[in-house]
């Protein structure tokens, strides 16, 4: 479905949902089947934490060289351990990383639009709503899976304990907020074929906006 479009015509859809809901599955389908350009906020954040990048410099200035590995890259597990349970440090880290990630995401969106070579752009992040991305995107999709299924996926796929799953989920937005703020719900616990059917309908609706 790749096609040349004027840069202002290329739509941007935000993909969000709770941890373990399968957002990556949806993103892969959008890329492979529909020619979408995908942007993953976590990978953008990782890029900006590379030596010499904005977040790298600000994080080292804020937290010191104790967050660096031997090769001078940021030791992300050490950084996570440092801010875990310390709301002041976590807030300081978020204040450094989130604004720069958002700026970089929109810079990449603009660059993609200028090329005009894709059907649409999909941006995935758990915190899209918290960071106000819905105000700038054309539409928002909520990837839904019931809590029990999410917990089982996280335990099997990431080795999390049930306690850790509940701890992470407690910090995320409740389901009613996702449903209120997102125009489309992708129910991702009914099997891959049903997920693909829902995505097909949602993509057709998105492309009808052109």
Binding residue positions for ATP? 20-25
d(C-alpha 120, C-alpha 45), whole Å: 22
Beta bridge partners of 74: 68
Beta bridge partners of 122: 13, 38
Please report the beta strands in the chain, taking only residues with DSSP state E, as ranges in sequence order: 11-16, 37-40, 120-124, 139-144, 184-187
* Closest alpha carbon to 99 in 44, 174, 172, 17: 44
d(C-alpha 20, C-alpha 7), whole Å: 33
- Residues in binding site: 20-25
Q: Report residue 76 CA to chain centroid gap.
A: 18
* Closest alpha carbon to 141 in 118, 123, 120: 123
Contact status, residue 151 vs residue 41, Cβ threshold 8 Å = no
From first CA to last CA, the distance across the chain in angstroms is 14
């Amino acid at each position: 479905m790749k096609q040349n479009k004027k840069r202002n015509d290329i739509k941007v859809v935000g993909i969000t949902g709770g941890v373990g809901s399968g957002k990556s599955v949806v993103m892969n389908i959008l890329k492979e089947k529909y020619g979408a350009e995908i942007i993953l906020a976590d990978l953008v954040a990782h890029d900006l934490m590379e030596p010499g990048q904005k977040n790298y410099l600000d994080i080292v200035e804020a937290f010191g060289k104790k967050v660096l590995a031997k090769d001078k890259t940021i030791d992300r597990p050490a950084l996570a351990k440092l801010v875990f349970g310390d709301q002041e440090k976590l807030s300081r880290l978020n204040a450094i990383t989130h604004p720069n990630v958002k700026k970089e995401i929109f810079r990449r969106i603009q660059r993609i639009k200028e090329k005009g070579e894709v059907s649409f752009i999909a941006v995935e992040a758990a915190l899209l709503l918290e960071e106000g991305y819905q105000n700038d995107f054309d539409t928002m999709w909520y990837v839904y899976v019931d809590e029990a299924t999410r917990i089982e996926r996280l335990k099997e796929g990431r080795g999390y304990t049930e306690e850790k799953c509940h701890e992470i989920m407690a910090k995320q937005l409740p389901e009613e907020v996702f449903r209120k703020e997102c125009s489309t719900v992708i129910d991702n616990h009914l099997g891959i074929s049903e997920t693909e059917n829902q995505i097909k309908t949602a993509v057709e609706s998105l492309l009808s906006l052109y």
